[in-house]
Amino acid sequence: MAASYNRVILLGNLTRDPEIRYTPSGTAVTDVGLAVKDRRKNSEGQWVDETTYVDVTLWGRTAEVAGEYLSKGSPVLIEGRLKLDSWETGDGQKRNKLRVVCERMQMVGSRGGGAGGGAGGAGGGSARPPQQRNGDAYSQDAPPEDSYGAPPAAGGTPEDEIPF
């Protein structure tokens, strides 16, 4: 049997403002919509823009950073994995929804805080979140379970890693 690989990298714009919620244990979580455009030629040779809308769930500090710095229309790069949610409605119908669980987010655009949806501010060392890696990239440990009641695994960034 071949090994499997579940990795998604998307670059697009937020379709709505992030709204942060917290689990009972205090872990931040937010769901955002991402619009990703694809440009291709149709059978007549004309360029056609095709937009795909993707639901993305962010956890922990990544969710807090998104809520603080991003808004509707902000360009963002998301790296994560696909997750299929299944549930049954009140009238007995089974529903499925495919979404992305974000494991790394990178804000794209200017830092001027304008319409580009960047990080805002000049960026002194104390103003940056502890899990910042390169530029505007934020990483986190993915939660062991993806239900909203289950917080991410304890830990996070190793103590010997200096956040610059």
pLDDT at 156 over 90: no
Residue 126 included in any domain: yes
Q: Residue 129: give the domain boundaries.
A: 8-139
Q: What's the CATH code of the domain at 25? A: 2.40.50.140
Q: Which of 50, 78, 53 is nearest to 142 (CA)?
A: 78
Count of helices and strands (H, E) across the chain:
1, 7
At 120-132, the pLDDT tens digits run: 333 333 333 444 4
Provide the whole-model pTM: 0.66
Residue 144 included in any domain: no
Residue 149 included in any domain: no
- Is pLDDT larger for residue 147 or for residue 31? 31
Total count of domains within the chain: 1
Residue 93 included in any domain: yes
